Chains A and B, each alone.
Chain A
Amino acid sequence: MSALYITIIAALILLIIFLGLLAWAIVSGQWDDLETPAHRILLEELNENRK
């Protein structure tokens, strides 16, 4: 079952990348505010220039 070397290593590489992204996001304050993002997307049209 040595294909497991391939699949597990590939999955682990992906896992490490995702863990890295997770760590970066936490440290850089991405989720310090969990309230406004949900509302912000509803206000996009206010920024639009009407022609």
Chain B
Amino acid sequence: MKIENSSAALETVKFDDWIARAFLWATMIWGLVGMLVGLLIATQLIDWRLNFDLPWLTFGRLRPLHTNAVIFAFAANSFFAACYYSTQRLLKTRMYSDLMSRIHFWGWQLIIVAAAISFPIGWTQGREYAELIWPIDMAVTIIWVIFTVNFLLTLWIRREKHIYVAIWFYIASILAIAMLHVVNNIQLPVSWTLSYSVYAGAQDALVQWWYGHNAVGFLLTTPFLGMMYYFLPKAADRPIFSYRLSIIHFWALVFIYIWAGPHHLYYSALPEWLQSLGMVFSIMLWAPSWGGMLNGLYTLRGAWHKVREEPILKFFVAAVTAYGMSTFEGPLLSIKAVNKISHFTDWTIAHVHVGALGWVGFMTFGMIYYLIPKLWKRPIYSRSLANAHFWIGLIGILLYAVPLWIAGVTQALMWLAMDDQGALVYPDFMETVKSIMPMYYLRAIGGSLFIIGVLIMLYNFLRSIAGVKCSELVDTEIKAAHFSTVKPEDQISELFDKEGKPKASFWKQVHRLIEGWPLVFSAIALMALMVGGLVQIVPMILVQASAPKDIIVRPYTGLELLGRDIYIREGCYNCHSQQVRPILEEAKRYGPASKAYEYMYDHPFQWGSKRTGPDLHRVGGKYPDLWHYRHLEDPRSVSANSLMPPYPWLLTANLDISNLETRLKVLKKLGVPYRDQDIEFAKEDLEKQALEFSGRLNKDGGVKNSEKKEIVALIVYLQRLGKDAQSDSVLKLGESQ
């Protein structure tokens, strides 16, 4: 159909298909890497020897590698692939800037490599899914800004007036993640690889889980809902069941999600009203989430026979169903009474993986199988293999989740079991661990099956694209008319002639490419200003308010602080919590409930979210120094069924005190009341405390010359935990905060 009006003339538009292919490669490769790390750490829980006695391979250092890889390498690259592919087609325009697209791609992959190197070394911030050290955080911010600007400018030059619902999901994801990343990662550097979070203790916990749950929402949910709204109808050749519903549930989701964060902090030192608020919003979240699930499933009305034939649709149906399950389980777990049982157990892990493997994983695989023919112009090599991938992966998910549901509830009930006299039935934590070992075996098998499915997919993919020549991979071309608000000179088609050769001179292309950069630089400058401003303002707000009346808590000494930083470096929070809940059974097992003021100088907080090992917040003074020494040297020498890896290097490595004053100065800036003499005589005080300790250790256990070793710092820190609630360092006890 020819349109005579010149402002609506049909033009040739070429989509950038290279960028979609690139992100798909990255998704598959990093997916495999992230999942293999996951399998390794799962087997480490079964057999501690798989830590190989190496600091770089301990569970504590590798778990963050797994979580970050699957979230920021696998899921994020999958999101980017979906976004770049579908946005161009939905808006009928090429991305605004190919250069920005490529910087986004390569920059992001470099960030992932940096993460993969930094985590085993022990460079970490010690905050879940936000472990990246500050230089890498900066890189993430810059790349994200470039992505955002490119995306928004592409929206600006679009030829399709209507913004399809999938694009709305992408917009929400991009804007929310920018905000979350910046706010959560405000920190003051001590060195290139160490920094202290501006927030402390309970405040830090709040910000961290405000971020953490929104990261789930806006990186693992909304982008994949956008993906679903594009790829599911396309694969089924069916329109979305209710477009109206998609708009409504999108907005409901976006407005409700942000307030759900406190559901990670029930029975903690977080104020009660805030916990209740989080619970209410988390339960409300059920409705818009199921709106998405129902919309997706109902779209297949009249097309269920296709699901029988087509692996892609099998993946999508299972994914949407898994989404429904997770978004039912989530609100369920957000009920305080349920959370009392589930928190710190493997039930949380099961919940995560139904969403991660079922929703995120299967949506991604379905998208990959759909895109291989579209982007590489070859059919899938083997439909049977794709079907096999589906069934093997599905069994993998079931073998992952079901054992962990059982393990979670079993362990929780054992922790809570009390007899008629009010004594714990299972006072020995290790008994509860022993009882769930069979489930850990099954989980590892489930995870392995899931990975086997991924390997089948990779084989299928490589066979499908074998023999494809680069010259065949030309960009998809369409004819489209723009609507009147888009000026002709903004359109890419101006730069190409009929044969696809660039029409314009080199300089015009350069001009075209750099047009967006002032916006990028303005955005980066704005980010920098925001961050700088926040770093100034936030401590002021937090410090004044966090010092409660009548309570004085002694800050960590230099030696204790270095010990704490070692605790963070080794990732102890991945297995040990520091948060005794105001629950009777917990008081019996660990001691008095943890109070907010006890954490007031904890930069960052280390409450943890899983008890693979026991809670440590009241461990101070419970065991003699020698016990800790032996326990860290070889856990099984003092604790028979322990899963914990040995930490022999702590006994031999010398404590690095070179930047001790800097650490104390930074903390002082953040409001920790170190006096000038604390900082001036920091090294002397440290040596004195270390010598006292090593003297005791020698007397009790014959351990000689330990005073310069890292283990001294760590044990001294552990022996400090929980002491602030007793008369030791509290000079005057008042009301709790």
Contact = CB atoms under 8 A, between A and B. Distances in A.
Contact of B233 (A5, A13, A42): A42
Contact of A38 (B163, B243, B479, B541): B243
Contacts of A22: 251
Q: Is the interface of B mostly helix, strand, loop or mixed?
A: helix
Given A6-B541, A47-B478, A47-B480, A37 B243 contact: yes
Contact of A11 (B234, B259, B474): B259
B631 interface: no
B199 interface: yes
B478 A49 contact: yes
Contacts of B274: 1, 4
Contacts of B258: 11, 14-15
B435 to A, nearest CB: 38
B210 A7 contact: yes
A39 B92 CA distance: 15
A42 B234 contact: yes
A6 B207 contact: yes
Nearest to A3: B203
A42 B239 contact: yes
Contacts of B240: 38
Task: Tell me which of A25, A39, A47, A51 has the highest count of chain B C-beta atoms within 10 A of its own C-beta.
Answer: A47
Contact of A34 (B92, B230, B244): B244
B542 interface: yes
A38 B478 contact: no
Contacts, number: 101
Interface string B217-252: 000000000000010011001111001100100010
Interface string B187-230: 00000000000010011101100100000000000000000001
A4 B199 CA distance: 11
A18 B172 contact: yes
A49 B12 contact: yes
Contacts of A27: none
A16 B171 CA distance: 14
Given A2-B542, A14-B176, A49-B478, 7 more contacts: A3-B206, A14-B175, A18-B175, A34-B247, A40-B164, A44-B478, A48-B476
Given A5-B541, A11-B258, A48-B478, A41 B206 contact: no
- The 3 A-B residue pairs whose C-beta atoms are closest, nearest first, are A3-B203, A38-B239, A2-B545
Interface in A18-51: 18, 21-22, 25, 30-31, 33-42, 44, 47-49, 51
Interface of A: 1-7, 10-11, 13-15, 17-18, 21-22, 25, 30-31, 33-42, 44, 47-49, 51
29 contacts: A2-B541, A2-B542, A2-B544, A4-B274, A6-B207, A7-B183, A11-B210, A14-B176, A14-B179, A15-B255, A15-B258, A18-B172, A18-B175, A25-B163, A31-B247, A33-B162, A34-B243, A34-B244, A37-B162, A40-B162, A41-B230, A41-B233, A42-B237, A42-B239, A48-B476, A48-B477, A48-B478, A49-B477, A51-B474
B338 to A, nearest CB: 24
Given A11-B258, A30-B162, A49-B12, A1 B478 contact: no
A38 B255 CA distance: 24
Contacts of A4: 206, 274
A30 B163 CA distance: 7
A3 to B, nearest CB: 4
B535 to A, nearest CB: 12
A47 B204 CA distance: 52
B119 to A, nearest CB: 26
B511 to A, nearest CB: 27
Contacts of B259: 11
A7 B478 contact: no
Interface string B80-104: 0000000001101000000000000
B254 interface: yes
A25 to B, nearest CB: 7
Contacts of A37: 162, 164-165, 243
A49 to B, nearest CB: 4
B434 to A, nearest CB: 39
Contacts of A35: 243
A18 B174 CA distance: 12
B271 interface: yes
Contact of A1 (B163, B179, B202, B255): B202
A34 to B, nearest CB: 5
Nearest to A31: B247
B698 to A, nearest CB: 44
Contact of B542 (A3, A10, A11, A47): A3
A37 B163 CA distance: 9
Nearest to A36: B162
B206 A10 contact: no
Nearest to A15: B255
B538 interface: yes
A51 B202 CA distance: 62
Contact of B203 (A2, A15, A31): A2
A33 B89 CA distance: 19
B546 interface: yes
A1 B541 contact: no
Contacts of A38: 233, 239-240, 243
Nearest to A29: B161
A6 B163 contact: no
B206 A17 contact: no
B206 A39 contact: no
A25 B206 CA distance: 33
B207 to A, nearest CB: 5
A49 B546 CA distance: 64
A10 B179 contact: yes
Contacts of B183: 6-7, 10
Interface in B467-493: 474, 476-480
Contacts of B164: 37, 40-41
A40 B541 CA distance: 51
A1 B233 contact: no
Nearest to A10: B183
